[in-house]
Structure 1
Amino acid sequence: MATAVAGKRKREDNSMSSVKAKRPAVNQKANGSFAKARKNVAVPQPKVDVPVRTKDSEAPETSSKTKPTSTEAVAPAKVIEGDIHLQLVTGSYERVLHGVAATIPRNLLQATDSPSEDATKDAAVTFSDTFLFAAHASSVRCLAVSPATESDKRYLATGSSDERINVYSISTAPPTNDQRVDLPTLASSATVVNPRNRSLGSLIHHDRAITRLEFPAKGKLFSAAEDNTIAISRTRDWTVLSSIKAPIPKPQGRPSGDTAGPGEVPAGVNDFAIHPSQKLMLSVSRGERCLRLWNLMTGKKAGVLNFDRSLLTQVGESKYSSGEGRSVLWNISGEAYVVGFERGAAVFGVDSKPLSLIKPMPNTKLHQFRMVPAVAGSEDGELLAVSTEDGRILFFRTSTDAVADGKEKLPSCSCVAQLGGPGAGISGRIKDFEIVDVQVDEAPALPVRLVVTASSDGAVRVWNMKEQSMGVEEGEDLPKQVGTLIAILETGSRITCLGAFLLDGKAEGMAADEDDADFGAMEDAASSGGE
């Protein structure tokens, strides 16, 4: 009997060893070098979605194996007929979530050499309040809007200091006159009621304040919090699929302005960036002077990149600063990434070597970073847009011809244009902004690029970036001022985050929507998944 049991255990041990031998090896040691970690985790090629061809489309098919370049243009899907409608969503310190629909007349965006007075007299942007949710018990810190779905709706997720993630369903249909409601109000904007804008529930799988939300695809929601975790939720039933745990930093002195309690260490994920292939992710955390690489295929750490002291000095981090990365983002092709600090940023290649620096002039704090894709037919390539403390949006060209040898100072990226700022009469900080491309005229006309900015003083501004050349003017040290201010909305709240997208869905049949039963199921799933 003992011999049979021993033989059975031996066979089980052999089977387990064979299973372990088939598992791929993943380097989990953080040795301070991205180059060594990349030997075991290769960076995959960015995934390019194959466009759906219609009968009227004559564009050639593209293969999913095609590798996009950094200058690849992203063209709008279709030409917008009639007026342009934008959905604006703002979160604020006042714990409310405010939705506003902006209607932009078509003749205000069309490029004409000499517009008539009759054409521009009534060309004014109008705003309509679409929803106002008492979203959280404390300030709204971040929000994210999902890509458009086939059912003409988008998901909206908001994060707050109350440790909750609220999920909403937002319609993509433009407002109509029959949805306007005459309510007594002190505001100048009208009120439009859309029954498809509703709350789906709350997710409470984090233990601390939410710091970052993102929908890399319509089926996944990534969320980061001050509990040093990054959770991945499925939007179908709002179930947490995986949770990535970042290590708690070791105490190395308390930086100035630290909000951690006595005996605690500053902790929490500041930001994360998902590779276009959705197989790799970068993250930066509080109290750490490093960048972490994660393998999303295994959910394990793939490497750590420590910031050199000379690099921190060049980006404006003094010895009394925390030296932590505030934000991180990939470029559109996935061949480089940008790490943002308090007063500067650094551009890294996929080999983890710093390529260039981004410094605002005059020196000021940086808040939000966005990659601006190239427009088909335009001479300007891919740009990096940065919002500043003094009310400007700076556009940098991340590609540079200078070569850094690692010993001398890194070359600086050229600032080719700026929007707003003291020159335009704006001095308040721009907390967040969004860029929306709208195809107003038929090709080969270039699309109109709209920039929506949100300031801490409660003002939401809509800018029209017309076809203007970028670059430093002759005899001037500052970059050229671009963009035309076309509308201002005073929300009366201290805005913390902003979301904006084009309302291009279908407007008919919204009163009796066919998906009402599905909405009820989503609400139950969100409530049960959050608990």
Structure 2
Amino acid sequence: MEPIVELIAGSYEQIAFGYRLSTSEKEWTATPDFTHHAHTASVSAVATSNRYIATGSRDETIQIYDMKKRVEHGALLHHDGTISCLEFYGPSHLLSGGQDGLLCVWSTKKWECLKSIRAHKGQVTSLSIHPSGKLALTVGTDKTLRTWNLIDGRSAFIKNIKQNATIVKWSPEGDRYVVVVSDHVDIYNLATATVTSTLTNPKRISSIKFLANSILAVVGDDEKVRVWDINTQKVCCEFEAHDTRVKSVDSFTMDDFCVVVTASNDGFIKMWKLDLETFEPPVLLGQVNSTARLTCLAIWQPSSLQETPIEVKTEPTTSEADTQDVPELAKKRVRISAEEVVIEEQSSPKKKKDGGKKKRKT
């Protein structure tokens, strides 16, 4: 029995599309499975868990679609402004970031907002959850990179960067992370919180995806996909995927090879077979034309895996991020192993709680 895989794509036309994959030796087909037209503005972000699909939009709402019951599950109303980023952690939690500078932690059990953090002075442009589920990274238009302890919902450390970053992402093993600024990718070592190397793309970068712990797929304002080895800073593979710029890239594993999925402004979603050992020119497995201007992409695969839940402590008020810069973790040290995350505070001033911000009803 072939595994269940669906391609989920958001569009400028306010619609989220779902396509069920059917695989064969000759050609893969993507059959329309559902359309979710719950937004009143363009879809800006999409994320999937083993049961739910979450879409964020410029209409200030997060819409939830239940893949088990195949029904619209409702809307989450807490952000003011565009929802810029969404990410699930296992089946239990969803994190969202928005134009209002908030980072919100949601429980998928009752869909309540467990924590609302004033993460950035400007927009939260991207977020990424550590594989342990106990730390999260955010970047924003205030030119800062921030690390959050998800156990208590507080800032672990803050690093000033020279420009506004658009993407941040942990590696699969959680030993490093990457930050995208315009056309280059800075690779950070977790132990030192310093840049170890930089990859430069010919065009502005719109999306990235780790295919392995040291292999990174990069797409942007041209028609090509570039696959980098971040250890050697060399391009392992480069191929033309679409007729116009590629908006988003994702991937999943099938048998002994990697499937790279790309979405473009030309309306097409394409599936490419890529061997991560030889990096031979990829083979186009199949494609589907949504006839819409696509903005974002995610893969849905139902799974029985149960990650350890985020144990965030709830508070009645919105927390304000400490604006003090802490280069190279001078104030707080973060030590991560496969099983635990330890935050060791050195002498640092106490943070002031913001009790004047009225929390919006969810």
Q: TM-score band, normalised by the shorter chain?
A: 0.7 to 0.9
Aligned residue for 1:432?
248
| Residue identity in the other structure for 2:31 | S
Aligned-pair distance for 1:102? 2.1
Structure 2 matches for 1:223-262, cutoff 5 A?
223-248=96-121
Question: Secondary structure of the residue that 1:233 maps to in structure 2?
Answer: strand
CA contact (8 A) 1:436 1:501 kept: no
Matching of residues 499-518 of structure 1 within 5 Å = 499-502=298-301
The equivalent position to 1:214 in structure 2, one of 81, 87, 101, is 87
Q: What corresponds to 1:395 in structure 2? A: 227
Query: Given that residues 459 and 491 in structure 1 are in contact (C-alpha distance below 8 angstroms), is that contact kept between their aligned partners in structure 2?
Result: yes
Select the structure of larger CA radius of gyration: 1
Equivalent in the alignment of 1:453: 262
Aligned to 1:158: 55
Please give the alpha-carbon distance, in whole angstroms, between the structure 2 residues aligned to 1:167 and 1:388: 28
* 1:482 to 2:281 alignment: yes
Q: How does 1:112-127 map to 2 (within 5 A)?
A: 123-127=26-30
Matches within 5 A, 1:98-137: 98-105=17-24, 108=25, 123-137=26-40
Tell me by how many angstroms 1:84 deviates.
Answer: 5.3
Judge conservation of contact 2:187–2:195 (CA < 8 Å) in 1.
yes
Q: 1:301 aligns with which of 131, 135, 155?
A: 155
Contact 1:436 1:502 in 2 (8 A): no
Aligned mate of 2:238, from 415, 418, 426: 418
Q: How far apart, CA to CA, are the structure 1 residues paired with 2:78 and 2:230?
A: 37
Q: Distance in 2 between matches of 1:88 and 1:276?
A: 23
Equivalent residue letter for 1:168: Y
Structure 1 residues 236 and 504, CA gap change in structure 2 (3 angstroms): closer
In 2 relative to 1, CA 468–482 (structure 1 residues): closer, same or farther, beyond 3 Å?
Answer: farther
Deviation at 1:133, TM superposition (A): 2.1
Following superposition, the deviation at residue 91 of structure 1 comes to: 0.9
| Aligned mate of 1:97, from 8, 13, 16 | 16
Number of the residue aligned with 1:369: 208
Q: Which amino acid aligns with 2:154?
A: K
Report the equivalent of 2:196: 355
Deviation at 1:302, TM superposition (A): 2.4
Amino acid of the residue matched to residue 487 of structure 1? G
Q: 8 Å contact 1:391–1:429 — kept in the other structure?
A: yes
The residue matched to 1:208 in structure 2 has which SS? coil
More helix by proportion, 1 or 2?
1
Q: Deviations along 1:242-299, whole A, 9 cap, x unmatched? A: 1111242xxxxxxxxxxxxxxxxxx21001122222222221101x222112222222
Partner of 1:66: none
Partner AA of 2:243 in structure 1: S
Aligned partner of 2:354 in structure 1 is: none
Q: Deviations over 1:101-147 (max 9, x none)?
A: 12111xx2xxxxxxxxxxxxxx333332211121200001001001x
Note the C-alpha offset of 1:500: 1.8
2:287 counterpart letter in structure 1: I
Kindly indicate whether residue 132 of structure 2 is the aligned counterpart of residue 333 of structure 1. Answer: no
TM-score of the pair, normalised by structure 2: 0.79
Indicate yes or no: 2:72 matched with 1:199: yes
Deviation for aligned residue 1:484: 0.6
For residues 225 and 238 of structure 1, the distance between their equivalents in structure 2, rounded to whole angstroms, comes to 18
Out of 133-142 and 493-502, give the one that drifted further: 493-502
TM-score of the pair, normalised by structure 1: 0.55
Q: 1:296 to 1:236 in 2, by over 3 A?
A: same
Instruction: Please say if residues 87 and 102 of structure 1, whose CA atoms lie closer than 8 Å, have aligned partners that are also in contact.
Output: yes
Return closer, same or farther for 1:372/1:210 CA change in 2, 3 Å cut-off. same
Deviation by residue 1:423-471 (Cα, 9 ceiling, x = unmatched): xxx33111112211112xxxxxxx132111110110111111247623x
- Equivalent residues of 1:84, 1:103 under 8 A apart: no
Maintained 8 Å contact 2:87/2:129? no
Cα contact 1:468–1:482 (8 A) shared by 2: no
Alignment of 1:273 onto 2:117: no
Identity %: 28
Per-residue displacement from partner, 1:178-214 (whole Å, max 9, x unpaired)? Answer: xxxxxxxxxxxxxxxxxx3111111101111100010
What is the rounded CA distance, in whole Å, between the counterparts of 1:90 and 1:343 in structure 2?
24
Structure 2 CA distance, aligned partners of 1:97 and 1:393? 23
Residues 242 and 456 of structure 1, relative CA distance in 2, 3 Å threshold: same
> 1:505-528: CA deviations, max 9, x gaps?
9xxxxxxxxxxxxxxxxxxxxxxx
- Tell me what 2:343 maps to: none
Cα distance in structure 1, aligned partners of 2:40 and 2:222 = 30
Q: What is the RMSD computed on CA atoms of the aligned residues?
A: 2.1
CA displacement 1:304-362 (0-9 Å, x = unmatched): 21225xxxxxxxxxxxxxx21111111122121111011111111121211001112xx
State the AA in 2 paired with 1:354.
V
Residues 125/278 of structure 1: CA separation in 2 closer, same or farther (3 Å cut): closer
Change (3 A) 1:530 1:493: farther
Contact conserved, 2:29 with 2:288, CA < 8 A, in 1?
no
Q: What is the CA–CA distance in structure 2 between the aligned matches of 1:276 and 1:504, rounded to whole Å?
A: 16
Measured in 2, the distance between the counterparts of 1:352 and 1:220 equals 26
For structure 2, the 5+ residue unaligned runs are 305-359
Give the corresponding residue for 2:139: 284
CA distance in 2, matches of 1:166, 1:466: 36
| Distance across 2 between alignment mates of 1:213 and 1:369 | 15
List per-residue Cα deviations over 1:62-116 (Å, max 9, x = no partner): xxxxxxxxxxxxxxxxxxx3x55531111100011211112111xx2xxxxxxxx
**Residue identity opposite 1:140 in structure 2:** V
